[in-house]
Amino acid sequence: MNINIGNFRTELEILSSHFENEKIAERIWQKDFTVWSDQPDEITNRLGWLNSPSNTLKQLDEIFEFVKSVINEGFKNVLLLGMGGSSLAPEVFRKTFGIKEGYLDLAVLDSTDPEQVKYFEDKFPIDNTLFIVSTKSGGTVETFSFLKYFYNKTLNKVGLEKVGNHFVAITDPGSGLETTARQLNFRKIFLNDPNIGGRYSALSLFGIVPAALIGVDIKNVLKLAEAYSYSTKNNNCNINEAAKLGLAIGLLAKNNIDKLTFIYSKQFEHFGAWVEQLIAESTGKNGKGILPIVNEEILTPENYLNDRFLIFTNYKNETNINGNIKLLKESKIPFIEFELEDLIQIGVEFFKWEFATIVASWVIKIQPFDQPNVESAKIVARKMVQDFKETGKLTELPISCEENGIKITSNLNGETIKQQFENLISLIEEKKKSFPLPYLSIQAYINMNDENEKALQSFRTKLQTKINIATTLGFGPRFLHSTGQLHKGDAGNGFFIQIINEPEIDLNIPDEAINQVSSISFGILIKSQALGDRQALIDNNRNVMTINLGKNYLNNLQQLISIF
C-alpha cells in the first residue's frame, strides 16, 4: 500500500497513535459497541462478518455437495433474485472470474424494470435454470416480486412436483423467506449467520454459494481472507493495513476531502459496485457522508476539485493503463495505491474494505451498521402502490418543461431543456463556494443493459466536464439499497437527476406464488419506487430534477447529451 496524502501525513500518524492507545482494533474484535455508540442497537448483532472467512470455510463440504448435485442434474444457469448486499458480491464474482468450464452461468436480477425482468426470462430457459432467492430479512419487496413471478413461470413449465427443485433460498434463520421456502418445497435453504448485515455479507453464504456455482476457488478465496483477517487483530506493533486505510479515509473526510474516487485496473473494475454500497450506506447519515465515486471517466487533474481522494487498485504487470493516471499521481490530489498479484485476493479485498469502512466510521463518529434513511423512500413507494391498487392510478408529476418527447419536472425556471440545465448548473456553481463541495447523482430507473449504461456514462461525462464536480451513476431501484441512504442522510450537498421512462412492455406480478391473480405490475412498481425516492429526497431538502424520456428513451437520452 502506497499512501500519498501530503500535508495530512503528520495528522495520520497522530490519529494512528490514538487508534492504538484506545485499543480500537482489539475492541472491534471483542464486538465492543462503544467504539461507535453509547447504545448496542444494530452493532452487537452486526459484527458476525469478522468471522465469516473462518465460519464459511467450515461449511464448504455442504456447499460443494450442493454444487455437485446441481451440476449432475443438468442445470446450466443460475439466476440470483436479490437486492443490495445479497446481490452485489455475487455479481462481482461473476464479472471478475467468469465461468469455469463445467459450472453454471450466473446472472443477477436486481431491477424491477419490466424490460430487465423479461430479458432474463428469455435468456435463461426454465428447464435448466436454478433460481437463488437471496435476502437477509426475507421480506424485500423486489426479491419477493421476482420470486412470485419466476416461481409461477416455472410452475407452469415443469409442474407442481418439480417446481421446488428449481429454487434455493439464502436467508437468515426465522425469516419470512425461510417460511415461504419450506412451504414451496425449495430444494435447498441456506441459513446464514443472522449477525451479519447485508453489505458486510460478501464472504458469508450470500456471496460464497453463488461464487461456488460458477467455479470460483472459494476455498482459497476464504483462506486468504481468513489469514488477512487475523492481521487486523494486531494492535501492538505496526498498525494493520486495513485500519490505516480506514484512518486515512476518515481523516480526509473530516477535512472535507470526502469524494472517495476509485480507479481500478481493467481486470478488477467490477469490484466498485460492491464497495460503493459498503461505504455509502455505512457512512452516509446524520448529516455526514463519505461519497464513493466508481466508474467515473478518468480525466486530467484540472477537472477535479479539492474534495477528491483517489484509490488506485492495479493488477500486477498490467500494461493497458489510462494515460491520465500518471498525471493524477503527479498532482496534489491525495491518493492510496494498491497492487494485486492474483484475482484470488478478492476475498482479502472484501475484508479489507469492510474493516477500513468501520474504522473510517469511528474517525467521523458514525455508527456504520444502521441505515436510518433507507426506509423513507420505501414508505412513500408502498403508499403509492396501495393507492394504485385502490384507484388504478399513480400520482402524476407536474410538468415544468416539455420538449421533443422529453418531460422535465423540477423547481427550476426554464421553458426549454437547455434553460433548465443552465439553471441547475448555476445552482451547483453557487454551492461550489462552500463546504462540503457538491456532487451530482444520476439515477436511472430504466433497463440496466450495456447500451443504456454506455449512453448514461456519456451523459455523466458531459456533465462532469461541464461543471467539474464529482458524479455518480446508479440504476434504480438497485441504488436505493446502497447509495440511497447517503443521498438522504449526508450533508445535503447532492444534486439529483432522476431519469424515468415509459417501458414498451409490462409484466404482472402475481399476488401470491401458485396464484396468477395480480393487482400490480413491475412497471407500476418501478415507477412507484422512483416517485417514492423523489419525494423522500425532496422531504430531506434535496434538489431533484426528474426527466421522463418516454417510450423512445434511448433516442431521447441522446438528445439530452447533445445539449452539452
Q: Tens digit of pLDDT for each residue in 262-313?
A: 999 998 999 999 999 999 999 999 999 999 999 999 999 999 999 999 999 9
Same domain, yes or no: 350 and 384: no
**Looking at the domain assignment, is residue 156 inside a domain?**
yes
**Looking at the domain assignment, is residue 221 inside a domain?**
no
Same domain, yes or no: 260 and 187: no
Instruction: Write down how long the chain is.
Output: 564
Query: What's the CA dihedral at 175, 181, 182, 187 to 10 degrees?
Result: -130
Percent of the chain whose predicted confidence (pLDDT) is above 70: 99
Same domain, yes or no: 421 and 550: yes
Question: Which residues are CB-neighbours of 320 under 8 A, at least 6 positions away?
Answer: 266
Rounded to whole angstroms, the Cα distance separating 130 from 93 reads 17
Q: What are phi and psi of 128, to 5 degrees?
A: -120, 25
Average pLDDT over residues 336-352: 96
**Looking at the domain assignment, is residue 222 inside a domain?**
no
Percent of the chain whose predicted confidence (pLDDT) is above 90: 89
pLDDT number for residue 532: 93
Closest CA to 120 of 153, 94, 92: 153
Same domain, yes or no: 390 and 495: yes
Domain end among 335, 364, 393: 364
Locate 156 and state its grid cell: 407452469
Domain containing 248 equals 2-30+239-364
Rounded to whole angstroms, the Cα distance separating 150 from 163 reads 10
Our CA angle for 541, 376, 282, nearest 5°, is: 90
**Looking at the domain assignment, is residue 230 inside a domain?**
no
Domain end among 184, 216, 248: 216
Same domain, yes or no: 178 and 316: no
Same domain, yes or no: 379 and 312: no
Give the DSSP H or E segment for 133: strand 129-134
Report CA 453 to chain centroid distance, whole Å. 15
Model confidence pLDDT, tens digit, residues 108-147: 999 999 999 999 999 999 999 999 999 998 889 999 999 9
Residue 7 has pLDDT above 80, yes or no: yes
- CB-side neighbour CA atoms (13 Å) of 410: 28
**Looking at the domain assignment, is residue 225 inside a domain?**
no
pLDDT number for residue 320: 67
Same domain, yes or no: 358 and 400: no
Closest CA to 439 of 405, 391, 482, 490: 490
Locate 547 and state its grid cell: 426527466
Rounded to whole angstroms, the Cα distance separating 185 from 167 reads 8
Same domain, yes or no: 444 and 552: yes
344 within 8 A of 221, measured Cβ to Cβ: yes
Report CA 270 to chain centroid distance, whole Å. 11
Rounded to whole angstroms, the Cα distance separating 225 from 212 reads 16
Same domain, yes or no: 116 and 203: yes
Domain end among 216, 251, 277: 216
Same domain, yes or no: 522 and 401: yes
Same domain, yes or no: 360 and 380: no
**Looking at the domain assignment, is residue 535 inside a domain?**
yes
**Looking at the domain assignment, is residue 227 inside a domain?**
no
- Total domains present in the chain: 3
Report CA 53 to chain centroid distance, whole Å. 21
Is beta strand 188-191 parallel, antiparallel or unpaired with respect to 167-171? parallel
SS3 110: coil
Same domain, yes or no: 434 and 531: yes
503 within 8 A of 523, measured Cβ to Cβ: yes
Measured from the Cβ of residue 439, the count of other Cβ atoms closer than 10 Å reads: 25
Our CA angle for 311, 312, 318, nearest 5°, is: 170
Report which of residues 444 and 137 the model is more confident about: 444
Average pLDDT over residues 378-383: 86
Locate 389 and state its grid cell: 391498487
Q: Tell me the whole-structure pTM to 2 decimals.
A: 0.97
Measured from the Cβ of residue 346, the count of other Cβ atoms closer than 10 Å reads: 26
Rounded to whole angstroms, the Cα distance separating 495 from 498 reads 10
**Looking at the domain assignment, is residue 265 inside a domain?**
yes
* CATH at residue 15: 3.40.50.10490
Strand order in the sheet with 308-315: 2-4, 335-340, 308-315, 259-264, 291-293
> What is the maximum alpha-carbon separation in the chain?
68
Average pLDDT over residues 211-216: 98
